[in-house]
Amino acid sequence: MTLNLDPRQRAMLAEMGVRLWAPRAGNALDSGAAGARPANARVQSGIEAPAAPVAPAAAPAPAPAPAPARTRAPAPEAAPGSHAPLLVPRPEGVEAMDWRQLEAAVAGCRACALCATRTQTVFGVGARQADWMVIGEAPGETEDLRGEPFVGQAGKLLDAMLAAIGLSRQAEDAIESIADSADSTLTCGQKDQETASKDQKQGVYIANLLKCRPPANRNPQPDEIAQCEPYLRRQVALVQPRIILAMGRFAVQALLNTDEPIGRLRGRAHHYQGVPVIVTYHPAYLLRAPHDKAKAWADLCLALQVREGGQPSYSISSSTEHQ
C-alpha cells in the first residue's frame, strides 16, 4: 500500500483511529476478534438475491426535488380493541417512482409497526446521482429526531471515513475530489492513483435499510426489512451508483441475501442490482471496537479500487471474525 497524504487527510484518518504506520504491506487485513451485536434477527427470505440489472431510472437524471418539509406521519389508528397499529400495504409501483413520489411514499408508509413508534421517517441524504452509495441499518434516536441518516456519533465517524476518500454528504459541497491533485491524493495503491486522476465524478448518497427507527434501537425484524427493502431498491435504481458500501450486519445480509457474517464477506466485491457492493463494519461497531478501524480503512481502499474497475489487491483471513 502506498500512502501519500496531505495534513487534512491525515487528520481524517486520525479521527477514524487509523494509525498510518500500522498497515502491513501486501495485506492490510489480518485476523482479529470482532465483537458483534447479538445475532437475533434473520434475513427475510423475500429479499431478492443480487445480480438482476438495475432498473433504469424513470426519467433521465431527474433534478433533485426540493427537500420536502419533514412531516410526521399521522399516528396510525389502532384497530378496535387492540393496541396494534393499523397497517396499510405499501403503495403500489414503488419500482417506477421518481424521487418525489418515493420520498412521499416513504413519509406516509404504514406497512409495518415501526410507523407507530417513529418520530418521522429517515429517507436519505446526499447527491441523488452519485458514484457512491452508503447503506446503513436503521435510524437511531438522533436520526429519528432529525430525519437524516447517520447524524449521531456513528455518523460523525462515517463522515470522517468518507472525507478521507474525498466524499461529503453535502451534495453541493463535496470535498475537493481526491483526483484534483496527485500530490494530495489519498491513495491505497498505485492503480487507484492512476485511475482516480482520470475520473473526477464524486458524490455520495447515504441511506438505510430501514427508514424508521426500531424502538430502543433493537435489531430490525425480518418483516420490517421485507417491507422496507423495496424503497431502498428504488433509491439504488435512481442513484445509479458505481459502488455501494454496505455497513453492518443487517444491511449487508439483507442486500446480499445471506446469513454469512461480515468477516467472511469482506475483501471482495458482491453485487446488488448489478452494482458492486463492498462490505464493511458499521461505524457504531467501530466506535466499540476501534482495533477494527484499520480493516474498515482497507475496505474503503478496496471500494475505491472496485469503483475504478480495478482488481482487489488483497485477500483476507476471516476465520476469527464473527461480526
> Does residue 140 touch ligand URA according to CB under 6 A?
yes
Nearer to ligand URA, 23 or 283 (CB): 283
> Does residue 313 touch ligand URA according to CB under 6 A?
no
Which of 99, 123, 150, 272 is close enough to bind ligand URA by CB under 6 A?
150
Angle (nearest 5°) at CA 118 between 113 and 120: 125
> Does residue 280 touch ligand URA according to CB under 6 A?
no
State the cell numbers at 120. Answer: 418521522
From the list 147-155, 232-240, 287-295, 297-305, the region that binds ligand URA by CB under 6 A is: 147-155
Place of cell 457512491: 132
| CB neighbourhood size of 230 (10 A) | 20
Alpha-carbon span 197 to 184, nearest angstrom: 12
Nearer to ligand URA, 57 or 210 (CB): 210
DSSP string for 121-173: ----EE-SS-SEEEEES---HHHHHHTSSS-SHHHHHHHHHHHHTT--SSGGG
From the list 5-13, 137-145, 163-171, 262-270, the region that binds ligand URA by CB under 6 A is: 137-145
Site for ligand URA in 242-261 (CB under 6 A): 248
Which of 23, 126, 147, 149 is close enough to bind ligand URA by CB under 6 A?
149
Site for ligand URA in 13-72 (CB under 6 A): none
DSSP state letter for 21: T
Helical axes 222-239 vs 99-107, angle rounded to 10°: 160
Which of 126, 136, 147, 203 is close enough to bind ligand URA by CB under 6 A?
136
Alpha-carbon span 201 to 130, nearest angstrom: 8
Q: Of the candidates 242, 312, 294, 214, which has an alpha carbon nearest to the alpha carbon of residue 34? A: 294
> Does residue 192 touch ligand URA according to CB under 6 A?
no
> Does residue 228 touch ligand URA according to CB under 6 A?
no
Nearer to ligand URA, 135 or 316 (CB): 135
Alpha-carbon span 171 to 49, nearest angstrom: 30
Least separation in angstroms between residue 207's CB and ligand URA is 9
> Does residue 208 touch ligand URA according to CB under 6 A?
yes
Which of 85, 124, 139, 267 is close enough to bind ligand URA by CB under 6 A?
139
CA of residue 229 relative to chain centroid, distance: 13
DSSP state letter for 15: H
From the list 130-138, 167-175, 190-198, 268-276, the region that binds ligand URA by CB under 6 A is: 130-138
> Does residue 225 touch ligand URA according to CB under 6 A?
no
Least separation in angstroms between residue 247's CB and ligand URA is 7
From the list 19-27, 73-81, 99-107, 144-152, the region that binds ligand URA by CB under 6 A is: 144-152
Nearer to ligand URA, 186 or 206 (CB): 206
User: Is residue 49 exposed (0-12), middle (13-18) or buried (19+ Cβ within 10 Å)?
Assistant: exposed
Nearer to ligand URA, 149 or 189 (CB): 149
Nearer to ligand URA, 154 or 304 (CB): 154
User: Is residue 77 exposed (0-12), middle (13-18) or buried (19+ Cβ within 10 Å)?
Assistant: exposed
Q: Of the candidates 108, 151, 95, 93, which has an alpha carbon nearest to the alpha carbon of residue 126? A: 151
By CB under 6 A, name the binding residues for ligand URA: 136-140, 143, 149-150, 152, 154, 208, 248, 284
